Structure 1
């Protein structure tokens, strides 16, 4: 017979105040489910026998509200027991934990007939309260926005096929049709499509703890498509060319050039450039926007020279930077025909092919060039990763741009040094 009890435990910071906790036991031999109710009251205001806030104390002004919540918790567990008995599902700790979390946050639990997008919308509302297992931090705003965009495309897809998707519909047929829809109807790149499939797979895995999901959505065949990015980088000779050019007659170009040099020698994302307000003792230290990690980077001599002459460049938008830097590189003759990808000015979609190099350069080229040039200079990979924020060496090696010939040259140099041929 399931039992639900409430007790009070003194707070560490104030022994006169206690936290009201619940203990739910539903099966002999299984550790009970314990959880704080989030309610704190003076210890002398708690009735141990009735397991309620006393009515004849000064705490009753708010105790009435607290007792009402305790009653709601009791009703929640009563309803939970009835639902699981009627459905025949196994009563597990994971299921209880998830159901209570939804109840405590005021999010209605998904019903069996509820649509997939409606369920995903509730999950999105819940995301700010969850912790990312990898970072051990709250789910980032960037991740939440990704799920919102994913749900938007799933909703568009179901409208295009005139249906309301359920969890049972998220199978391999959906996987193939959804990817085709994104690539053919919306002209999305493979990596963008893969990101949305990843969100769907993550949500299905999360929901599988207390809901019947299609086994396909949890299988390896429900794959996340990826392709190697067709990006380019600037080598150190090209960087020197950009740094040494005189833009005194075109201050706007000169301002963008200065930001580019800062990006090329710090490896920072464009979103972090404007956080570089000052540099002390030869280093810049800041908190990165995307990963929220703290990074410390030494100041390159070219950046020092820019700061001595002109101080920090004037702020410039990412759009303005990307537009002008292509003209800067064109003026400097960085126009060789190379293989890469760019956003088509006609369709605003990614296209892969052969283009003049200046047309492929953007703010992110700075970061990729920073990592690639350091790697080619035999700087320790793990040290570069600490600055760029890459979590795994495999993802870092995919990120940098080193040709098979350049890898071979590194090996030849290693052998030549080892056997003293140079």
Structure 2
């Protein structure tokens, strides 16, 4: 049976803290300051309370009695419900007992995540001289905080930075993947975010478990990734398809533009006719990518896309509505090859791997992948990377699920070399006259 009592730890000639200690079982004792003080000369070792020799000590005596009963009841409730009782739990219960306004505990993962969100507009962006997190990144931190709060409810305990050891990370990973059935990529991203928040906290001298530096996220293996793209032939089917509504026409225009300029939906859907720039009778689009902050310039050259952007520029639409309409567009265009992919299952509320008609798997993310896949090996990879915004060729190849072609650079060199030789002016040679010999 648990016991709750008090003690002081000093005999100094000045007021000292009164500690509350809870004995849960033999050898398992937790203790923390109660928030009250007493002069050692006014402390009774017999009652383990202040002596009732003044109005102040009488008040402290009464409050400690109330605290003892409150904590004892809370301990019994927590043990009955399997809640972990530790020093952090005890501190929270003391504050609850007296309705204390508690200063923000910056040792909590959720509190520091909220600190990042609250100061998003003044945070420096890594690798640049800019400040201010993107809306996408802020949304990511909000989602991360919400998930950590859900896990705290699961384990019935607030998560402190000091708690994040290997055992904690293993349990969190198991909960994400086996209980919540989150995807491999999403679960791995949560661990990446956890590490990021830990390292950020450490920068402002918050004590963090040393293991945090070893946290590693993860992704699906390339062989397990399901990438949906639209070939040039399929895009031509879509371009010629008979559609039924204005919304479908608008979605088709976004799809055709997206598959030719290779940008994320978040950047694509922000475009307006004012973003078009003309130079030497050519059309350029200058884009600052929201996710990376990179500035890229895309040339519009496909005749059908030039016609769209000059004469029928699509109107603004949300990504959710676009994803719905483009599925209808692709269905009408008979993009119905059965392919393996993952589709959201309303019953499980997770994506289910199966074979589906291709039009059911097309999303706005298909645009950028189609651009990268269709033009790979037709256009030099560094040029494509300059448009998609990938920082390295290896990332680009992973994005389109291709292995590095080690012959490609050699082939390109030989092609350019042959072109140079063909364009070379013939050399004049002096031929000796035999008669002069």
| Category of TM-score, reference length = shorter chain | 0.5 to 0.7
Is 1:130 the counterpart of 2:123? The answer is yes
Pick one of 206, 211, 225 that aligns with 2:206: 211
Please say if residues 109 and 197 of structure 2, whose CA atoms lie closer than 8 Å, have aligned partners that are also in contact. no
Aligned residue in 2 for 1:29:
none
- TM-score scaled by length of structure 2: 0.62
RMSD of equivalent CA atoms:
3.1
1:340-351 alignment, distance < 5 Å: 340-351=341-352
1:165-184 alignment, distance < 5 Å: 165-184=159-178
Q: Which is further off, 360-369 or 116-125?
A: 116-125
Aligned residue in 2 for 1:338:
339
Seen in structure 2, the aligned counterparts of structure 1 residues 252 and 211 have a Cα distance that, compared at 3 Å, is closer
Pick one of 132, 150, 161 that aligns with 2:155: 161
Please say if residues 259 and 313 of structure 1, whose CA atoms lie closer than 8 Å, have aligned partners that are also in contact. yes
Is 1:366 the counterpart of 2:361? The answer is no
Is 1:192 the counterpart of 2:186? The answer is yes
1:49-68 alignment, distance < 5 Å: none
CA distances 1:153-184 after superposition (whole Å, capped 9, x unpaired) = 11221221112222221011111111222223
Please say if residues 270 and 318 of structure 1, whose CA atoms lie closer than 8 Å, have aligned partners that are also in contact. yes
Please say if residues 230 and 352 of structure 1, whose CA atoms lie closer than 8 Å, have aligned partners that are also in contact. no
* Runs of at least 5 residues in structure 2 that lack an aligned partner in the other structure: 1-102, 419-437
Please say if residues 233 and 401 of structure 1, whose CA atoms lie closer than 8 Å, have aligned partners that are also in contact. no
| CA distance in structure 2 between the aligned counterparts of 1:382 and 1:412, rounded to whole angstroms | 15
Please say if residues 195 and 213 of structure 2, whose CA atoms lie closer than 8 Å, have aligned partners that are also in contact. yes
Report the number of matched residues: 304
Is 1:302 the counterpart of 2:321? The answer is no
| CA distance in structure 1 between the aligned counterparts of 2:111 and 2:137, rounded to whole angstroms | 18
- TM-score scaled by length of structure 1: 0.64
Is 1:385 the counterpart of 2:385? The answer is yes
How far is 1:152 from its partner? 1.8
Aligned residue in 2 for 1:243:
239
How far is 1:303 from its partner? 0.8
* Runs of at least 5 residues in structure 1 that lack an aligned partner in the other structure: 1-107
| CA distance in structure 2 between the aligned counterparts of 1:129 and 1:280, rounded to whole angstroms | 32
Seen in structure 2, the aligned counterparts of structure 1 residues 167 and 335 have a Cα distance that, compared at 3 Å, is same
Please say if residues 232 and 401 of structure 1, whose CA atoms lie closer than 8 Å, have aligned partners that are also in contact. no
1:78-117 alignment, distance < 5 Å: 114-117=107-110
Seen in structure 2, the aligned counterparts of structure 1 residues 168 and 236 have a Cα distance that, compared at 3 Å, is same
Select the structure of larger CA radius of gyration. Answer: 2
Is 1:148 the counterpart of 2:142? The answer is yes
**SS at the partner of 2:376?**
helix
**SS at the partner of 1:208?**
helix
Aligned residue in 2 for 1:255:
250
**SS at the partner of 1:258?**
helix
| CA distance in structure 2 between the aligned counterparts of 1:155 and 1:188, rounded to whole angstroms | 16
How far is 1:399 from its partner? 0.8
| CA distance in structure 2 between the aligned counterparts of 1:291 and 1:166, rounded to whole angstroms | 30
How far is 1:414 from its partner? 7.0
Please say if residues 344 and 350 of structure 2, whose CA atoms lie closer than 8 Å, have aligned partners that are also in contact. yes
Please say if residues 231 and 341 of structure 1, whose CA atoms lie closer than 8 Å, have aligned partners that are also in contact. no
Seen in structure 2, the aligned counterparts of structure 1 residues 240 and 174 have a Cα distance that, compared at 3 Å, is same
